[in-house]
Amino acid sequence: MKKRVPGFILVLILLFTTVQCAKKGMPEGGPVDEDPPKFLRANPENFTTNFDKEEIRIYFDEYIKLDKPSQQIIISPPMVPKPNIMPLGTARKDIKIEITDTLEENTTYAINFGKSIVDNNEGNPYDYFKYVFSTGDYIDSLSVSGIVRDAKLKEPSEVISVMLYEADTSYTDSIVFKETPRYITYSQDSTFNFSLENLKAGTYRMVALMDSNDNYLYNPKKEKIGFVEGDITIPSEESFELTVFKEQLEFEPKRPNHFKGNQIIFGYEGYADPDSIKIDLLSARPEGYRSRIIKDPVKDTLYYWYNTSPELDTLMFVVNSPKTQDTLIARMGNLERDSLMISTENGDLIKDFKLKANTPIVDYAADQIRIMDMDSTDVPFEAEFDPLLNEVRLKFEKKPSNNYNITAFPGAITDLFEETNDTIYKNMTTKDLSAFGTIIIDLQNIQQFPVIVQLTNIKGEILAEQYSEDRSNFTFNYLNPGDILVRVIFDSNANQKWDTGNFLKKIQPERIQYLRDTLEVRANWDQPYTFSLD
């Protein structure tokens, strides 16, 4: 006797068979569309003269969108206010440009779309389409080109705007802060070359700007700038090079804030050597009043500490830098202060072991600190105090593959409030020499001394550096394995550091040359490299 198959199982079998058949018969689809949109026509036509319309239509063979139009579309000279450009957010087969203001007479306008025009489905870009028209009888056809660089980085971190200002009788250098340029273009994505086209003959000033808010105006607090010294006369066959840099602004303190008990924060903008900043209390001081300034290791912030709190709701201070003097007021609250706590920072074969405190260190006793190696032998050391960073550095000869026990006995550290440390025990281990690599660099064709040779990681953070007034060979030991960049700073003022530029003072930044290739540091390996400088 045959057993009957339950009905629900038959249904499952049929469904499974249907799905399998459907899979076998599913079409695979056609090839992926890799073609960009095609320009069909424009109304008025491209390169129209005697232009007097209020609207432009540009037609394509398929639906298109505008990708990042505010960043990609450049109009030279700028129209103020900017025209309305569509589509925005939706796809259509044309670009509509509504001109909202009267255009200048006898002027050639160029609307460069960069890579903003993409097809709706695959996002294939129609690169660098440009619509040009003139309100006069002819189209201006002159051009200049060049390249932009970053003063400090191997290459610019973003697209750079390159601008021309007419160098007429009304031109002043301050124009970059308050007026839009006559012509503008962008550096290309990977090569950072640029080309300014459809220019009329004349005399100009050329400026490059890392225009973070796309308003064609220079904001020195946030943006980088570069410039060509002197006038540029067009037509010109010269290729121009511009180097953008971040200006070093003048020191400007901000309103102080009561942060914790016996501690006031003074934030600031700009630059000044922290050692040169003086903060003095103008309000009445209690008897025995003492203060200290500590620099935040990361932020532009100074911490003003005091041992005894004035019984006042507000305190008045004078802040002096080498070039400025400011009077500031801090409102006080009832806040508890921190008690002394000591932290440590282990060193290595090069870096020093450090004792740090959360309150201001005012004294240290080296005879209350002891260092012993793995053989329980006392290790001689020197103690060095940095009041600005509020740390005591222990300098001693360190050997590879060794253990060091550091003990700070009570009374080794005394803070502003006469508190002292409890006993501190720390262990520090040094790596074997085989864990490190060595880079030996021979620089050829050095045209200018002194130079600073720096090794950085890929992010541009300095790992090691050496200064030279005459030698061309540099050996860097005890490097951790990994990729590094090498840059050479031509220290023209011999102050042993890199100096940026100043636009209004017409000072270019000190030149930096990166060696072309990324180097690999390999453990237990000495690697010699020879480079010829430009």
Q: Are residues 112 and 162 in the same domain?
A: no
Confidence of residue 270 (pLDDT cuts 50, 70, 90): confident
Q: Pick from 483, 526, 492: which is nearest to 511 by CA?
A: 492
Quote the pLDDT of residue 25: 44
**Cα(213)–Cα(86) distance, integer angstroms:** 21
Query: Tell me, what's the pLDDT at 22?
Result: 44
- Residue 32 pLDDT: 66
**Single pTM value for the model:** 0.80
**Residue 250 in domain:** no
What are the pLDDT digits (tens) for 33-79?
678 899 999 999 999 999 999 999 999 999 999 988 887 888 988 88
In this structure, is the dihedral angle defined by the CA atoms of residues 415, 420, 424 and 430, taken in order, positive or negative?
positive
For residue 2, what pLDDT is reported?
43
Question: 116: domain CATH number?
Answer: 2.60.40.1220
- Tens digit of pLDDT for each residue in 333-353? 988 988 999 999 998 898 999
> Residue 249: inside a domain, yes or no?
no
Mean pLDDT over all residues of the chain? Answer: 90
Q: How confident is the model at residue 534, as a pLDDT?
A: 79
* Proportion of the chain above pLDDT 70, given as a percent: 94
Ranges 11-25, 189-203, 250-264, 282-296: which has the least confidence = 11-25
Q: Say if residue 237 is in the same domain as residue 300.
A: no
pLDDT digits over 202-225, tens only? 999 999 999 888 788 999 999 999
Residues 441, 526: one domain? yes
Domain final residue, candidates 409, 431, 453: 431
Q: Per the structure, how many domains does the chain have? A: 5
In a domain, 474, yes or no: yes
Q: Minimal CA–CA distance to 277: which of 312, 307, 311, 317? A: 317
**What are the angstrom distances between the C-alpha of 532 and each of 42, 441, 447, 454?**
52, 11, 10, 16
Domain co-membership, 43 together with 115: yes
Give the model confidence (pLDDT) of 430-478 as tens digits. Answer: 999 999 999 999 999 999 999 999 999 988 889 999 999 999 999 999 9
Same domain assignment for residues 284 and 371: no
* Amino acid code (one letter) for 259: F
In this structure, the answer to whether residues 422 and 439 fall within a common structural domain is no
- pLDDT above 90: residue 28: no
Q: What is the pLDDT of residue 443?
A: 95
Q: Is residue 332 part of a domain?
A: no
Residue 306 inside a domain? The answer is yes
Say if residue 50 is in the same domain as residue 70: yes
- pLDDT greater than 70 at residue 393: yes
**Is residue 333 in a domain?**
no
- Complete DSSP assignment for 396-409: ----SS-EEEEEE-
Rounded mean pLDDT of 309-314?
91
Q: Does 409 fall in a domain?
A: yes
Do 427 and 475 lie in one domain? The reply is no
Evaluate whether residue 285 is within a structural domain: yes
Distance between CA atoms of residues 280 and 283, nearest Å: 9
The confidence band for 23, taking pLDDT boundaries of 50, 70 and 90, is very low
More confident residue, 80 or 533: 533
* Residue 177 DSSP SS3: helix
Residues 191 and 240 in one domain: yes
- Cα separation, 446 vs 517, in Å, equals 18
- Given a contact cutoff of 8 angstroms between Cβ atoms, the answer to whether 171 and 164 are in contact is no
Give the structural domain span for 79.
39-134
Q: What is the mean pLDDT of residues 381-391?
A: 96
| 497-530 pLDDT per residue, tens | 999 999 999 999 999 999 888 999 999 999 999 9
Does the structure show a pLDDT above 80 at 21? no
Same domain, 440 and 493: yes
pLDDT > 50? residue 483:
yes
Answer yes or no: is pLDDT of 24 > 50.
no
